[in-house]
Structure 1
Amino acid sequence: MLTFALNQWRLLPPETSADARVLLLARATRAFGDGFVSILLPLHLVQLGLSTVEIGAVATATLLGSAALTLVVGFAAHRIGRRVLLLRASLLMIATGLGFALLHDFWPLLIVAFIGTLNPSSGDVSVFLPTEQALLPQTTSDQQRTALFARFSLTGSLVAAFGALCAGVPGLIAAQTGLPLGRPIDGMFVLYAGLGLAAFWLYRGLSPAIEPPDSTVATPLGPSKRTVYGLAALFSLDSFGSGFVVQSLLALWLFQRFGLSVTTAGVIFFWTGTLSAFSALLAVRLSRRIGLLNTAVFTHLPANLFLLLTPFMPTMELAVVLLTLRSALSQMDVPVRNSYVMAVVSPAERPAAASVTAVPRSIAAAIGPLLSGWLLSLSPFGWPLVIAGALKSLYDVLLLWRFRAIRPPEERNR
């Protein structure tokens, strides 16, 4: 049914194989879980009696674990196959959901957070990401590559927004049944495990064609090494800033600063996620006019300035307006940036490039939540948002300055 809908509504661009449908459907399945988990995670940990710093530590552990697993994927993809890697990651997602549902002490949760697939961010920072990024260009032509990455981003952001809306379900169940709030929240983590099972079933449908042909052996970085390392360094700066405002901690700030309920926060993140989702499609059209890199920078920079100004707003309404404006622009760089990385390296270097750019980003992002949790324990003002906005704005300026002369193949004749 979902595959039929994808075709009917032309979510997939022309010249795209059936494997792209599978990857987008699996992305949607995982994104739904990421959407409600990113909001329920801080509430769940508060219910268990964890401090703000401990909550930040759990978020940090999830990102550090993702970085370690992503590094393993980068080394192992060419030996055991990318389909097998995705299947194994799905099994890990099942175990993660069950672990958070059944374990309620800090140290066991910290371990599960590190080795599991939990995502405290509104975007995808999991072990699935580099493998799927390396596979997507193989399912379409160079001309449709950016459009496919935009659909991939649209699917994830839109479904994650619906997931965020469902974060209010435990509160409704508790109010109607008289159960302690922790019980239905545990049930949502069981649902997360069920979504891992669904992703496993979907990945089983990938065809043998998804693996690179024998003539295209995955290689370490060669001619593109300097370019990829430079991109990885700048992406790490951006991710370090993003770590201060992962969705779990942004929700925690809203709870602290304005006393928002989880249901209201879910509605807010639904609309911000929806705006982020459809902005990805606009990014494709804009990139055809001004180029991939210009699109990434000139949409991302204003979004970061909105983020920086948010804590200075005197009312919740004004703060939400700025967060909404930020969301309308902040994710437009994601599909064009991913497309740019895959375009400026050779096909054989793509798995290594995806891993090399993803691992430092995850490590850099992992530092932010712990610092953010500490800052929020000192003051509810919102210093993490100010720091994040400043760092991410610096990234935009440096990215344009350093890489404006390196163009993807489809832009070299302009």
Structure 2
Amino acid sequence: MTSSAGLKPTDYVFAARALRDFADAFVAVLLPVYLLGLGFSPLEVGVVATASLFGSALLTIGVGLIGVRLDLRSLLLVAAGWMAATGFAMSAANDYLPLLAIAFVGTMNPSAGSVSVFVPLEHAVLARDTPDRQRTGMFARYSLVGALAGALGGLAAAIPDVIIGLGLDQLTAIKLMFALYAALGLIGGLLYARIPRRPVGHELERPAPLGPSRSIVIKLAARFSLDAFAGGFAVQSLLALWLFERFDLSLSQAGVFFFWTGVLSAFSFPVAAWLAKRIGLVNTIVFTHIPSSIALALAVLAPSLPWALTLLLVRAALSQMDVPTRSSYVMAVVTEAERAAAASFTSVPRSLAAAASPALAGALFAVSYRAWPFLICATLKIAYDLLLLLQFRHHKPPEEI
């Protein structure tokens, strides 16, 4: 379906995703600065971040459960309004308990990751309005838009410094950024309002959130959680720490390096869609992931900085190619009625699993086993890829049959 302006429902979702990822990215940077500026301890900041993560996960699961019974457009409008309310509440609150409560029930994501109440709803809208053969390419563009918007959002975290230069204090400047977050939520709601309402037919009136596809969703969620747990051993902050300690990399050099890793990851998404058309979704996931894991292992064993950075750039160009293909595969192997729940139940466990491993990696760093977290990451990811290939290589999406 195309609007009178020539735009499709997917175009509105893309635009709303860009605004949301832009907002999430600057909030992820500014939230701890704001809390510390209010006088809270690092421990209290960590508790707020944890509350936000778990609250987002619970909200995402809840939306996945009810998404099958309600109009997706209506739910997206409610979520956009909730995002606006979260931003305005954060800009007004100064005491710890209200801030903790807002973090738990609101939409802010301190990791700027993919755990969001919007994700299962957007995935379901995109999948229902896209033919099977175009679905992977669509998810690639969706991921590319989000990644580039997030990169710009990270740069926008410097806006408070500009505001301070105009005579305002830091806390007021950050409060204005929370107000911007709220405004972007309202604009996102206007975009979601342009999505046509989907008529609910008899088939979709009283379905269970997960019906005939329950088994495969559970299996996929378990495999994806193993992948996310492995990835937590090599989060960007730990990788930066290793580069600082191993090669005395400067902050400016690190900034340039991580900018280019982000660019390579973003533009690998359309390549993944092109590759999936030729070798299939599962094969694309596995046969790009394994070389990226090998590159990571070799990078931490590299004798010099140029070799390490080159191998890490190779990893960046390959490691995220599973993002659009994974989303496309999940949407392909479940029924339309189950898509919101499937997106929720495969994304939330990933994020919860990823939250567990950085602490273990930090403990290894503390006892000077600095290469071990990355070697563990590579090993577990290869194990995940092989398990995925073994179990799902014959479970093909419609376009590959």
TM-score by length of 1: 0.80
Residue of structure 1 aligned with 2:345, choices 337, 356, 363: 356
Match of 1:11 in 2: none
Structure 1 stretch displaced more, 177-186 or 116-125: 177-186
DSSP 3-state at the match of 2:286:
helix
Q: Is the 8 A contact 2:67 2:341 kept in 1?
A: no
Q: What is the distance in 2 between the residues matched to 1:260 and 1:49?
A: 30
Match of 1:110 in 2: 100
Match of 2:14 in 1: 24
Residue of structure 1 aligned with 2:50, choices 48, 60, 65: 60
Say how many residue pairs are matched.
396
Counterparts in 2 of 1:127-166, with a 5 A limit? 127-166=117-156
Do structure 1's residue 85 and structure 2's residue 86 form an aligned pair?
Answer: no
Do structure 1's residue 342 and structure 2's residue 331 form an aligned pair?
Answer: yes
Could you say if the C-alpha distance between residues 323 and 201 of structure 1 is closer, same or farther in structure 2, counting changes exceeding 3 Å? farther
DSSP 3-state at the match of 1:78:
coil
Structure 1 stretch displaced more, 163-172 or 143-152: 163-172
Q: What is the distance in 2 between the residues matched to 1:186 and 1:313?
A: 44
Structure 1 stretch displaced more, 295-304 or 266-275: 266-275
Q: Is the 8 A contact 2:119 2:344 kept in 1?
A: no
Could you say if the C-alpha distance between residues 255 and 312 of structure 1 is closer, same or farther in structure 2, counting changes exceeding 3 Å? closer
Residue of structure 2 aligned with 1:280, choices 269, 274, 280: 269
Residue of structure 2 aligned with 1:236, choices 225, 232, 255: 225
CA RMSD, 1 decimal? 3.7
Q: Is the 8 A contact 2:272 2:284 kept in 1?
A: yes
Alpha-carbon deviation of 1:194?
A: 1.6
Q: What is the distance in 2 between the residues matched to 1:156 and 1:38?
A: 15
Could you say if the C-alpha distance between residues 53 and 406 of structure 1 is closer, same or farther in structure 2, counting changes exceeding 3 Å? farther
Q: Is the 8 A contact 1:234 1:399 kept in 2?
A: yes
**Percent identity, aligned pairs only?**
49
Structure 1 stretch displaced more, 367-376 or 211-220: 367-376
Q: What is the distance in 1 between the residues matched to 2:99 and 2:306?
A: 35
Alpha-carbon deviation of 1:229?
A: 1.1
Do structure 1's residue 187 and structure 2's residue 148 form an aligned pair?
Answer: no
Do structure 1's residue 198 and structure 2's residue 182 form an aligned pair?
Answer: no
Q: Is the 8 A contact 1:52 1:373 kept in 2?
A: no
Match of 2:64 in 1: 74
Do structure 1's residue 333 and structure 2's residue 329 form an aligned pair?
Answer: no
DSSP 3-state at the match of 1:79:
coil
Alpha-carbon deviation of 1:310?
A: 6.2
DSSP 3-state at the match of 2:395:
coil
Could you say if the C-alpha distance between residues 120 and 241 of structure 1 is closer, same or farther in structure 2, counting changes exceeding 3 Å? farther
Q: Rg: which structure is higher?
A: 2
DSSP 3-state at the match of 2:157:
helix
Structure 1 stretch displaced more, 367-376 or 322-331: 367-376
Could you say if the C-alpha distance between residues 310 and 214 of structure 1 is closer, same or farther in structure 2, counting changes exceeding 3 Å? farther
Q: Render the CA deviation track for 1:43-96: whole Å, top value 9, x for unaligned.
A: 445555655555444333322112211121122223332112111211221233
Q: Is the 8 A contact 1:117 1:127 kept in 2?
A: yes
Structure 1 stretch displaced more, 263-272 or 347-356: 263-272
Q: What is the distance in 2 between the residues matched to 1:371 and 1:106?
A: 28
Q: Is the 8 A contact 2:232 2:355 kept in 1?
A: yes
Match of 1:13 in 2: none
Q: Residue 118 of structure 2 aligns to which amino acid in structure 1?
A: F
Do structure 1's residue 35 and structure 2's residue 25 form an aligned pair?
Answer: yes
Alpha-carbon deviation of 1:24?
A: 0.9
Q: Residue 332 of structure 1 aligns to which amino acid in structure 2?
A: M
Alpha-carbon deviation of 1:112?
A: 2.5
Q: Residue 164 of structure 1 aligns to which amino acid in structure 2?
A: G
Q: What is the distance in 2 between the residues matched to 1:52 and 1:388?
A: 27
Q: Render the CA deviation track for 1:111-138: whole Å, top value 9, x for unaligned.
A: 3222222223354221110111112111
Could you say if the C-alpha distance between residues 323 and 87 of structure 1 is closer, same or farther in structure 2, counting changes exceeding 3 Å? farther
Do structure 1's residue 292 and structure 2's residue 267 form an aligned pair?
Answer: no
Q: Render the CA deviation track for 1:155-196: whole Å, top value 9, x for unaligned.
A: 11111111122223334544x457554443333222222211
Structure 1 stretch displaced more, 308-317 or 323-332: 308-317
Q: What is the distance in 2 between the residues matched to 1:55 and 1:381?
A: 26
Q: Render the CA deviation track for 1:322-359: whole Å, top value 9, x for unaligned.
A: 55443322221111111111111222332332232233
Q: What is the distance in 1 between the residues matched to 2:170 and 2:372?
A: 30
DSSP 3-state at the match of 2:67:
helix
Residue of structure 1 aligned with 2:354, choices 347, 355, 365: 365
Q: What is the distance in 2 between the residues matched to 1:393 and 1:253?
A: 24
Q: What is the distance in 1 between the residues matched to 2:82 and 2:239?
A: 26
Q: Residue 231 of structure 1 aligns to which amino acid in structure 2?
A: L
Q: What is the distance in 2 between the residues matched to 1:301 and 1:333?
A: 11
Q: What is the distance in 1 between the residues matched to 2:335 and 2:209?
A: 11
Q: Residue 91 of structure 1 aligns to which amino acid in structure 2?
A: G
TM-score by length of 2: 0.82
Could you say if the C-alpha distance between residues 114 and 38 of structure 1 is closer, same or farther in structure 2, counting changes exceeding 3 Å? same
